[in-house]
């Protein structure tokens, strides 16, 4: 049985792959999973961009970092539009924030039309973000410590005290701490 606990000796890359990389890759075979893929990918991208730029979204530094990952956006106004429609729309409202935008497996990674209509290919987007993070994992893992996947301790093991558990697995004794 595996649990999720905070541990200073975590293998961040292994955990990243176990929790996100392999899961997103598996979801990509399901054409109906586009919204889930994008909703998981955006926080990963945001964490990476915040670390890379040392800035908040919509700042010049942040937008430069976003444009490095997605040069298809071409400029700051398109980057801001993209971020507002997809990141804010999906993660705050579980919907796209403006009409006539969408997800399509038949479009390029991201397409901004002259009428500010934006399309996003969920699989190509997730692949780009995963490759970016994997190629610069040191930047991604900076900042907030990532939780660790570790075996649950057998019942009665006192070494479990002061452990914080994440996810759906319950700690020994069946109680969350």
Highest-scoring range by mean pLDDT, 2-11, 37-46, 91-100 = 37-46
Per-residue pLDDT at 10 exceeds 70: no
Give per-residue pLDDT as tens, 58-68: 788 999 999 99
Residue with tokens 């700690």: 171
Q: Is the pLDDT of residue 40 over 80?
A: yes
Q: Residue 151's pLDDT is what?
A: 54
pLDDT at position 76 is: 92
| 150 pLDDT above the threshold of 60 | no
Q: Taking residues 25-49, report their average pLDDT.
A: 95
The answer to whether residue 108 scores a pLDDT higher than 90 is yes
Q: What is the mean pLDDT of the chain?
A: 80
Please check whether residue 84 is in contact with residue 65, taking contact to mean a CB–CB distance below 8 angstroms: no
Whole-angstrom CA distances from 124 to 60, 84, 135, 156 are 25, 19, 16, 47
Structure confidence at residue 23 (pLDDT): 95
Query: Could you give the C-alpha distances from 163 to 8, 151, 160, 169, in angstroms and in order?
Result: 11, 12, 6, 13
The DSSP secondary-structure symbol of 154 reads: P
| 116 vs 160: CA distance, rounded Å | 53
The position carrying tokens 């961040």 is 12
pTM for the full predicted model: 0.78
Q: Is the pLDDT of residue 37 over 90?
A: yes
Return d(Cα 172, Cα 157) in angstroms, integer. Answer: 8
pLDDT in tens, 79-102: 988 988 888 888 887 877 666 688
Rounded average pLDDT over 36-62: 90
Ordered by start, the domain boundaries in the chain are: 2-174
Cα separations in angstroms, 96 against 88, 101, 145, 162: 8, 7, 31, 41
Confidence bin at 177 (pLDDT 50/70/90) = very low
């Amino acid at each position: 049985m595996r649990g999720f606990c905070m541990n200073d000796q975590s293998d961040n890359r292994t955990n990243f792959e176990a929790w996100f990389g392999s899961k997103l890759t598996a979801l990509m075979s399901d054409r109906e999973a586009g919204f889930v893929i994008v909703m998981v990918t955006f926080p990963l991208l945001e964490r990476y961009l915040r670390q890379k730029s040392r800035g908040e979204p919509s700042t010049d530094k942040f937008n430069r970092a976003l444009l490095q990952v997605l040069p298809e956006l071409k400029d700051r106004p398109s980057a801001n539009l993209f971020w507002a429609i997809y990141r804010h729309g999906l993660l705050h409202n579980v919907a796209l924030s403006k009409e006539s935008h969408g997800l399509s497996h038949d479009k390029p990674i991201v397409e901004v039309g002259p009428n500010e209509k934006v399309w996003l290919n969920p699989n190509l987007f997730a692949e780009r973000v995963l490759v970016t993070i994997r190629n610069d994992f040191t930047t991604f893992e900076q900042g907030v410590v990532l939780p660790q996947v570790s075996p649950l301790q057998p019942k009665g093991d006192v070494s479990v005290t002061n452990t914080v558990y994440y996810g759906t697995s319950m700690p020994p004794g069946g109680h969350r701490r």
